Structure 1
Amino acid sequence: MVTITFPRGVALWRSQVDAVRGRIERITEDLSDIKAFFPIRISSRRTQRLKQFLNTELESLREQPFDHYDQQGKVDYLLIKNYLERQLRELELDCKQNHKTAPLLPFADTLVNLCEDRAMVAPIEPKDAAQKLFESQGQITTVIENIKTGSKYLSMEKTVTFRASKTVDSLRDYLKEWYGFYKGYDPSFDWWVSHPYSVVDTNLQDASIAIREKLVGIDPDNDDAIVGDPIGQDGLINELHAEMIPYTPDEVIAIGEKEFEWCIKELKKASRSMGLQDDWKQALEQVKNDFVEPGKQTQLVRDLVQEAISFVEEHDLVTVPPTAKETWQMFMMSPERQKVNPFFLGGDCIIVSYPVDTMDHEAKLMSMRGNNIHFSRATVFHEMIPGHHLQMHMNARHKPYRRLFDTPFWIEGWSLYWEFILWDDERFQKTPQNRIGMLFWRLHRCARIIFSLKFHLGQMSPQECIDLLVDGVGHERATAEGEVRRSLKGDYSPLYQAGYMLGALQIYALKKEIVDTQYMAEKNFHDQFLKENRMPIELVRALMMDQPLSRDYKTSWRFYSD
């Protein structure tokens, strides 16, 4: 048996580096547990506990020997520091937004306390619980009456009242869980609580409907309305800071507009190649009508996946592990889900968006036109290999603890970056129709920057966002509505849609610095990018170029040039 010993300094250094990774893994689990135990976002108890945890971790982090870490350890330190600070800023923003909804939710604290006492298994006195529900019932009824008479709340912004309605819905769900926990277990609970609970449950439903109908302006028979929850100038600045983007919101919009102009010029070139002069919208109409017949889309997608894999392997652009290319799967998207996701989705698998027999004639044509052959070609490369599927495969196998630092600039930027690379690479065969399809998506990502940031700045309404996609990009109206609904409904971070183009531009600029100067081979660049896992692109740059890093590192990379 051979025993290998390391100098004391090396052992100490390795211990410190492992400690940073261990800290990240522990914080990931601790935060998950705290948020699972206190799931109600408007809870003051939840906010206080999270603030305490985050501040304690930051204070502890400041005591760590940053200068003794290697480059990987320093990057991990900066990643977790940035993450904790961002979580604190988001808590502050949530508190401000929740404060605005308070006039509509005078009953919220009582219901939250009931639910959280149950989570902590605090002793319950059924008679007291019934009294609290009875008092809440009166408060909810008063709110509904004031809404219907129009005597209050009319000055509240629609986005605030919409947030309040969603809070009411969530409170109703949590209260249902609370009631189900005790019902049938404690006979006295049933005797005291069953009736007041049923009344409060009904009143909460009525309150949500009244808020949406009277204050938000949503037709109760049409739940497809798009409202959104804009975060404003300060919120966007905080988000840009967290993503290490050293640009103001206005500068980011200007980047989107400049790239938009470039796409229009290229669309006109492709249109002229099709014999249609500068009428790129007519060329786009021709491309949209080039779709496969019903039942053939899955075969098209399969062939496109194989084309993509063959191209990147033949030209040695990125490593594709055998398991990654052998185990991808395909599923069909439901008609309901297509209202929000009118195009393909990808990652571990590819989910194909295409019409089914239950759709009406107009919806079928819109879906087929929106998922035509040339749009699909660019989409498949984006979603599978070398795009998201390869990303997900590598993320699970290389530094998986960094998945905590999820960012659309790394995730979506990588897939759109490959659209840039395939556009530039003359070896990748492209007809004018193919180019129109590629440019459509690129133009779409420019528009996403413009409409998402302007929405959060209060400069564009959801309807104006839809109109930009229809009139400026050439979307079908149904697919434009789905895209805006997906972007603004709140399931994505405020900068998610901007992350596609900005992230791609960052990676593209980094490739120029590293590959075009022969600092690193192209395949090695792509492989290392994937193996470093998720993080702001500026820190990928610091790793690859071994740039000096300090404990208080500030973003400074101005990656965009005309």
Structure 2
Amino acid sequence: MAHRRSKESPPAHMGSNNVAVSLPKPSSDGSESLADRIRRVQADLGDLNTFYHVSISPARHRRLHRFYSDELQSLFEVGFDALNQQDRVDFILLRNFLRRCVNQLKAERHGYGGLEPLIPFADIVVSLCERRKNVEPMEAEFVAKQLDNITTMVSRVKQGVQDDKIEASKTNAYKASKIISELRSHLAEFFGFYSSYDPMFDWWCATPWRAADCVLGEYLPLVQTKLAGMRADGTGDIVGEPIGREALLSEMEAEVLAYSPEELVQLANEQYRWCVQQMTTVSNELGYGNDWKRAMEYVKKRSVPPGEQPQLVLELAREGANFVRDHDLVTVPPLAEETYRMFMMSPEMQKVAPFFLGGPSIRVAYPTAEMPHDLKKMVMRGNNRHFSRAAAFHELIPGHRLQLFMMERHRSHRRLFTTPFSVEGWAMYWELVFWQRGDFFVSPEDRIGTLFWRMNRCARITLSLLFHLGRVRPQECIDILVSSVGHERSTAEGEVRRWLNGDYAPLYQAAHMVGALQLANLRREVLAKGCCTEKEFNDKVLTCGAIPNELVRALVLETDLKPDYEAKWRFYP
């Protein structure tokens, strides 16, 4: 899967070295174009998030809420009927983005409820950092007293945790640990700003700040280990934050999905049953009867020797690019194929990413010399040559590498709205296309390799949504991945850690299969109507940007759009 930031928060500054920006011509009446409006919103948010940088600050929440509200009001003053189809899509994208930000801001604020017993000192730290942000004069003796109060309050709550007098759920402890870490960093920056410039500040505040920083440094690991069950080596309890059904529905509205969470779970279960049927067929071909798990065990043993994985991945990557080129399925710019690089993952990274990662480059998971023997064998089995064959082109060409390459060169302003239903959906869409063609996954072993991934994506939908609905726990997710998909326990644990560690949006794990089915359905619809060739269709999708696939459909088929447009596409029977 591609490297990416979470969609939980708006992006910070994006430098010109990272984004290829093509400035549109001003409108004939001198008004702001939709593309320029989106670029401005992105730049404004970068500045606001840089200035209002303390996440739990009430001032930050008030300012961002005013910004989103003002932008929404201003957007609806645009004459929608006079816009062309591309601009209408941009209007809906920006509308959904701003509404989602408002909802996430409310949820973020609500999520701080119940954390006060663990962070009673937070208001003092926020107040000091707000004053530093505004470069207010500091009365050194007063600041020293405030720093001493922080030390006293942290010491008291630390002792309460040690004595089991303060309890918290693992989820709240996990959230609190992130806030404590952030506040400690902000407090250090606050002290560094005034220290040595003001002799009286140092005289009063140096010792109290060191004491506060020290006790915060002792308190943080206590919350992480004793309350949240985390460990420094990353092998502790897996903790996440279920968001609930209402928040899931809000996220699905922003992603332009005309389905409920329960309907997506039903979709995943139906797809999983199809996968089991196909697995059983292949298992019989290999002589294992209906016991497809034995057939998968046979495939897992077909890994390359230590040291040969990079060459295998390179060979598979070239095979995928050559296949789409030779069969005239999509345009592959030579530079996209020439300039990606390969890196090997560290053991630490493999704890949360047990397989490939891709996009601008490809990162390969394979055992390292210092891994324990059992873990080495599990990682080798989980990255065997047939699992890898279905993953290499997913990560590179025609998958993530090709899409991200095109995103930077076509309608780059839409990168603000990048959605995994497009990014991950596009990469998995090619797995469906290659399967349907019947001339890529030919051997039984290769078909098992790609079916493993498809089963994994079905499980991701079911388990991630049920987790956010409060119906499964992290350990249950690991057990189901092992028993129902055929994961090694180490790779299953890495998968679940990645799902729940807060770096991915709540619907991210549902996006692979759902996005792929959307694009496959649209492909069938377009080819049946004779609107364009398959290559023309795929090329056009790549120029739309990584936006919700229902809006891609609106661009490809010129469907009717209104300013109050809501999701309506039922792409799955």
TM-score (normalizing by structure 1): 0.95
Q: Name segments (4+ residues, structure 1) moved above 3 Å.
A: 11-18, 217-224
In structure 2, what is the Cα distance between the partners aligned to 1:242 and 1:110? 36
Would you say 1:140 and 2:126 are equivalent positions? no
Distance 1:384 1:348, change over 3 A: same
Give the total of aligned pairs. Answer: 549
Counterpart mapping for 1:33-52 below 5 A: 33-52=47-66
The answer to whether the Cα contact below 8 Å between 2:228 and 2:237 also exists between their aligned partners in 1 is no
1:30 to 32, 36, 44: 44
Would you say 1:484 and 2:480 are equivalent positions? no
Q: Determine the structure 1 residue equivalent to 2:8.
A: none
Matching residue's letter, 1:283: A
CA deviation string 1:218-242 (max 9, x = no partner): 4577654311111111111111111
Counterpart mapping for 1:56-205 below 5 A: 56-152=70-166, 154=167, 156-205=168-217
CA deviation string 1:164-189 (max 9, x = no partner): 12111111112122222222222222
552-561 vs 111-120, which moves further: 111-120
375-384 vs 102-111, which moves further: 102-111
The answer to whether the Cα contact below 8 Å between 2:26 and 2:33 also exists between their aligned partners in 1 is no
Counterpart mapping for 1:301-316 below 5 A: 301-316=313-328
CA deviation string 1:282-302 (max 9, x = no partner): 110111100111111111111
Q: Determine the structure 1 residue equivalent to 2:249.
A: 237
137-146 vs 528-537, which moves further: 137-146
Q: State the shift of 1:271 in Å.
A: 0.6
The DSSP-based 3-state class of the residue aligned with 1:351 is strand
Q: Determine the structure 2 residue equivalent to 1:3.
A: none
The answer to whether the Cα contact below 8 Å between 1:17 and 1:73 also exists between their aligned partners in 2 is no
Counterpart mapping for 1:227-376 below 5 A: 227-376=239-388
Question: What runs of 5+ residues in structure 2 fail to find an aligned partner?
Answer: 1-24
1:504 to 484, 509, 516: 516
Q: Determine the structure 1 residue equivalent to 2:433.
A: 421
The root-mean-square deviation of aligned C-alpha atoms, in Å, is: 1.6
In structure 2, what is the Cα distance between the partners aligned to 1:14 and 1:300? 55
Which structure has more relative contact order (CA 8 Å, sep 6+)? It is: 2
The DSSP-based 3-state class of the residue aligned with 1:516 is helix
431-440 vs 508-517, which moves further: 508-517
Q: Determine the structure 1 residue equivalent to 2:408.
A: 396
TM-score (normalizing by structure 2): 0.93
371-380 vs 120-129, which moves further: 120-129
In structure 2, what is the Cα distance between the partners aligned to 1:200 and 1:529? 54
The DSSP-based 3-state class of the residue aligned with 2:410 is coil
Q: Determine the structure 1 residue equivalent to 2:5.
A: none
Q: Determine the structure 2 residue equivalent to 1:446.
A: 458
Distance 1:415 1:114, change over 3 A: same
The answer to whether the Cα contact below 8 Å between 2:460 and 2:509 also exists between their aligned partners in 1 is yes
In structure 2, what is the Cα distance between the partners aligned to 1:305 and 1:529? 22
The answer to whether the Cα contact below 8 Å between 1:13 and 1:68 also exists between their aligned partners in 2 is no
In structure 1, what is the Cα distance between the partners aligned to 2:114 and 2:529? 53
In structure 2, what is the Cα distance between the partners aligned to 1:180 and 1:283? 61
Q: Determine the structure 2 residue equivalent to 1:457.
A: 469
2:444 to 416, 422, 432: 432
Matching residue's letter, 1:162: Y
Matching residue's letter, 1:437: G
In structure 2, what is the Cα distance between the partners aligned to 1:161 and 1:338? 25
The DSSP-based 3-state class of the residue aligned with 1:552 is coil
In structure 1, what is the Cα distance between the partners aligned to 2:413 and 2:234? 42
The answer to whether the Cα contact below 8 Å between 1:515 and 1:521 also exists between their aligned partners in 2 is yes
CA deviation string 1:306-345 (max 9, x = no partner): 1111110111100001111111211111111111111111
454-463 vs 433-442, which moves further: 454-463
In structure 2, what is the Cα distance between the partners aligned to 1:357 and 1:408? 34
Question: What runs of 5+ residues in structure 1 fail to find an aligned partner?
Answer: 1-10
CA deviation string 1:176-220 (max 9, x = no partner): 222222222222222111111112112222332332333334457
Matching residue's letter, 2:87: G
Q: State the shift of 1:243 in Å.
A: 0.6
The answer to whether the Cα contact below 8 Å between 2:140 and 2:200 also exists between their aligned partners in 1 is yes
The DSSP-based 3-state class of the residue aligned with 2:370 is coil
The answer to whether the Cα contact below 8 Å between 1:17 and 1:69 also exists between their aligned partners in 2 is no
Q: State the shift of 1:515 in Å.
A: 1.8
Matching residue's letter, 1:339: K
In structure 2, what is the Cα distance between the partners aligned to 1:257 and 1:108? 45
2:67 to 53, 66, 70: 53
The answer to whether the Cα contact below 8 Å between 1:13 and 1:69 also exists between their aligned partners in 2 is no
Q: State the shift of 1:558 in Å.
A: 1.2
